[in-house]
Amino acid sequence: MASGFLSRLFGRKKLPVELQYEDARRVLEGHQLAAKRELASREDAPPEALYYLACDDDPSVRGLVAANRSAPVQANELLSGDNDGEVRGELARKIARLMPDMPLTERTAIQDRMIDLLEKLAADELPRVRAIVAAEIAGCPTVPASLARRLARDAEIAVCGPVLEYSPLLSDEDLVEIIATSEAEGAAATIARRAVVSQTVSDAVVSSRDEEAVQELLSNGGARIREETMERIITRAPGMKTWHRPLVMRPELSVRAMRRIATFVSRALIEELRRTHDLDKETVDWLKARAQSKIEDGDEAPETAPRGSIREAYAAGRLGDEMIVEAATTSQRASVILALSLLSGIPAKSIEEVMAAQSGRGIAALCWTAGLSMRTALAIQTYVVRVPKANLVLPREGIAYPMGEDEMRWHLQYFGIEPERTAP
């Protein structure tokens, strides 16, 4: 296949079918680019010739040597430091594809050098080179576990994603740590898609408060979820409509869990609950009655802390961090906006603009003006506004606002907001 491609790309082949050493020497002495490319692609080329071509000025020649399975290890080592990323990418693809053929133990010295090369390429400065290594070795059990862990902790989802989803070398401890610390957007969701997800890892996914990751977990038939963990999911689920269908379809739901779910999902999903699960007559009748009430109520799922409760708490002087964090963690956006507006005196429309901009600092300034804690600001950033992880404004020393009063005011003024009150 490669020879046919080269023939179309560079014209008629110059080298004979049965390559002799003298044929290779004439190519090297002739310095014709098309002939060098053809020789660089030949798996029957002399190792010395391939090493020589690994030093060629033309990156296409070096790339063909990098892709050649017959290139000597010395040429591969030379090309691992090539200044052309495409050349290193070709080398990464070749070396990684050789890994399944290598034994777990009793490797030769040459094979050990190949593994060293692969580890060097897995640390390449270009994400696309690292991504090639990750994609090729993701499900391979014969690579060093340290290499799989290194790629799994990469900050680029294109690199860590395949390993997180498919590698058999990552322990539950590895996965739990990565869920808690990874800088790669989507890492937790990728782990939640693994063919088998243990209860321990499921707990970590739910604790991450990553909406997409929990949705993937619920949709994954290979994910084992403890009953108490499912209860935590259900507590947050009313405001997470993307969770509703996969939640209803989970096979291990208790009757208590199904009754709770039926209080906030649509009528159609209540019917799905009834059809999907083996239920006693009392529960079936209860679900039918619940579905009928949905018809009478217009099929609307109420918020667990509706806006009326926010107004009542404000009037009674009870509106504060606890109620707002509860509304935020169940994604009750309207209730959070109302609470911020009441406590800060800032119009709801202006608060909406700050949220639409996904400004972590703007949200922190709003909460500061409202007299709320920085932890509440973090909850709103995470569960309501969905501020990207890299842009989250985090508490200083775990509790304090990280900005001074002047900076708080500047961020509000950026959105045309003049605080009516000064926070304590």
Last residue of a domain, one of 266, 284, 302: 302
Supply the DSSP string of 231-287, one letter for each residue: HHHHHHGGG-HHHHHHHHT-TT--HHHHHHHHTTS-HHHHHHHHHHS---HHHHHHH
**Inside any domain, residue 380:** yes
Q: Are residues 291 and 350 in the same domain?
A: no
> Per the domain annotation, does 218 fall within a domain?
no
Last residue within a domain, chosen from 302, 328, 349: 302
pLDDT digit string, tens, across residues 368-380: 999 999 999 999 9
Q: Which are the contacts of 186, defined by CB distance < 8 A and separation ≥ 6?
A: 157, 161, 212
Percent of the chain at pLDDT > 90 equals 48
Task: Tell me the per-residue pLDDT of 296-319, one tens digit each, with 9 for 90 and over.
Answer: 555 444 444 456 688 888 988 889
Handedness of CA 283, 285, 287, 289 (dihedral sign): negative
Could you report the per-residue pLDDT of 60-86, keeping only the tens digit for each?
Answer: 999 999 999 999 999 999 999 999 999
Return mean pLDDT, the chain: 86
The verdict on residue 115 lying in a domain is: no
Number of domains in the chain: 2
- Same domain as 322, residue 296: no
Looking at the structure, tell me whether residues 284 and 352 fall in a common domain.
no
Which range among 74-83, 336-345, 397-406 shows the weakest confidence by mean pLDDT? 397-406
Residue 320 sits in the same domain as residue 397: yes
Query: What pTM value is reported for the model?
Result: 0.64
**Is residue 59, in this structure, part of any structural domain at all?**
no
88 located within any domain: no
* SS3 state of residue 141: coil
Q: 278 and 256 share a domain?
A: yes
Could you tell me if 260 and 230 lie in one domain? yes
Mark whether 294 and 315 lie in a shared domain. no
352 and 294 both lie in a single domain? no
Q: Check whether residue 278 and residue 366 sit in a common domain.
A: no
pLDDT in tens, 249-259: 998 888 888 88
Choose among 134, 145, 136: nearest CA to 97: 136
Q: By C-alpha distance, which of 12, 53, 375, 229 is closest to 217?
A: 229
**What residue type is assigned to position 256 of the chain?**
R
For the CA atoms of the chain, what is the radius of gyration?
A: 30
* Residue ranges making up the domain that contains 375: 309-414
Give the whole-angstrom CA distance, residue 338 versus residue 239.
16
